[in-house]
Amino acid sequence: MRSAFSRALLAYADRKDFVFLTGDLGFKALEELRDAMGERFINAGVAEQNMVSVAAALARKGLRAWTYSIAPFMYARPFEQIRNDVCLHDLPVIFVGNGGGYGYGVMGATHHAIEDYGALLTLARMRVLVPAFDMDVEPMVRQCFSAEHPTYLRLGLSEEPKNYVVPAYAAWRKLLSGPGATVVVVGPLVGGILSALRGVEPTPSLWLIGELPVENLPEEFLEDLERSGRLIVVEEHVAAGSAGQQLAHRLLELGKPPRQFQHRTALGYVSGLYGSQKFHRAESGLDPAAIAALVTTGGR
């Protein structure tokens, strides 16, 4: 998604109110943007706390301030700066975290971000955007340029199935229709899950969420859920603060709890060993085969 991200930003490079700050990352991805933006592209160095506070002040002065780093360095290291300097003042700073979830794979746990949006959504007015496909990035970037609140953009690696026509971006999208379980996914892992669920009988309905906090539940989703009575939420994020928890909370508020609720989340480091993103997903039961089996068997 970094290439799609860079391409999308290039369209805005001439905007005089656009300032891009990177925490010394972007090699082989952001060079063209850097060259196009000139002095408004700032490598703030390996100093994320300062970068975020600087961005807050830029936003205070009416500039469109973007900050960029590997996801854990974007939200965890400068968390107090995000809280105090950005969110207390409701400034529309954009935080771009590359490699959400287990995206950095065998680079190790320090480079993973499996609690990023849950932590950030504890902060006032924070919005989170999670593209699932490369095609989602451009509309999300456009959305960021008109954001009125702090916004976290969690980039990953697009995993769209071959020859799949990605439906136009929306906060909620329905990727499969069927009488089976109602499955909700957040993020790029939906690509593999979509492929796996295509052969499952009865066909589940598959929904993809791209924006958090969870809100504005579509009527069609509620109808699907009422019919199936079974909700399965899958996300590459720990349970605490997750989209699944938010969705369950919202359904309780609406008086429409599902009869059965199953939540597949990032479980951390189950075996204590390290590997690719695929390895860690499998350890957490987030791999497509495990999700297909869950949907088929109804197991817990």
Partner 1 sequence: MNSDAGIRELRRRAKLRLLRMHYESNVGHIGGNLSVLDIMLTLHHQVLRADVDEFILSKGHAAGAWYVTLWSLGLLSEEDLVRFHKDGTRLAGHPPARGIPAVSFATGSLGHGLSLAAGLALAKRVKSESGRVFCVTSDGEWNEGSTWEALIFVAHQRLRNLVVFVDVNGLQGFGTTREVANLEPLAAKLETFDIVVREIDGHDPDAISEAVREDGSAGRPIFILAKTCKGCGVSFLEHRMDSHYLPMNEAQYRQAVDDVTRS
Among candidates 145, 171, 147, which has minimal Cα distance to 8? 145
Question: C-beta of 43: minimal distance to partner 1 in Å?
Answer: 9
- Report how far residue 97's alpha carbon sits from residue 191's, in angstroms, rounded to the nearest whole number: 20
172-176/205-209 β-pairing = antiparallel
Judge contact between 249 and 219, C-beta under 8 A.
no
Question: C-beta of 191: minimal distance to partner 1 in Å?
Answer: 38
Q: Which is nearer to partner 1, 81 or 242 (CB)?
A: 81
- Among 3, 31, 61, 164, which residue sits at the site for partner 1 (rule: CB under 8 A)? 61
Q: Which is nearer to partner 1, 45 or 202 (CB)?
A: 45
Q: Which is nearer to partner 1, 63 or 121 (CB)?
A: 63
Q: H or E element: which one contains 115?
A: none
Binding mask 9-38 for partner 1 (x = CB under 8 A): -------x--x-------------------
- Among 81, 158, 245, 262, which residue sits at the site for partner 1 (rule: CB under 8 A)? 81
User: Residue with structure tokens 């790029």?
Assistant: 188
Does position 94 interact with partner 1 (CB under 8 A)? The reply is no
Question: C-beta of 25: minimal distance to partner 1 in Å?
Answer: 16
Does position 174 interact with partner 1 (CB under 8 A)? The reply is no
Dmax (CA) for the chain in angstroms is 57
Q: Which is nearer to partner 1, 13 or 157 (CB)?
A: 13
- Among 10, 57, 157, 239, which residue sits at the site for partner 1 (rule: CB under 8 A)? 57
Does position 98 interact with partner 1 (CB under 8 A)? The reply is no
Number of residues that bind partner 1 (CB under 8 A): 27
Q: Which is nearer to partner 1, 50 or 195 (CB)?
A: 50
Give the rounded distance of the alpha carbon of 145 from its chain centre. 17
Burial (CB < 10 A; 0-12, 13-18, 19+), residue 57, is middle
Does position 42 interact with partner 1 (CB under 8 A)? The reply is yes
Among candidates 55, 65, 213, which has minimal Cα distance to 126? 213
- Report how far residue 195's alpha carbon sits from residue 160's, in angstroms, rounded to the nearest whole number: 9
- Among 85, 134, 224, 235, which residue sits at the site for partner 1 (rule: CB under 8 A)? 85
DSSP 77: T
Enter the tokens of residue 222.
């509620």
DSSP 264: E
Does position 67 interact with partner 1 (CB under 8 A)? The reply is no
Enter the tokens of residue 12.
């805005």
Question: C-beta of 29: minimal distance to partner 1 in Å?
Answer: 23
Judge contact between 191 and 210, C-beta under 8 A.
no
Q: Which is nearer to partner 1, 58 or 113 (CB)?
A: 58
- Report how far residue 102's alpha carbon sits from residue 276's, in angstroms, rounded to the nearest whole number: 8
Q: Which is nearer to partner 1, 34 or 40 (CB)?
A: 40
User: Residue with structure tokens 């007015």?
Assistant: 125
Q: Which is nearer to partner 1, 60 or 198 (CB)?
A: 60
Give the interface with partner 1 as residue ranges (CB under 8 A): 16, 19, 39-40, 42, 44-45, 47, 49-50, 52-58, 60-63, 80-81, 84-85, 88-89
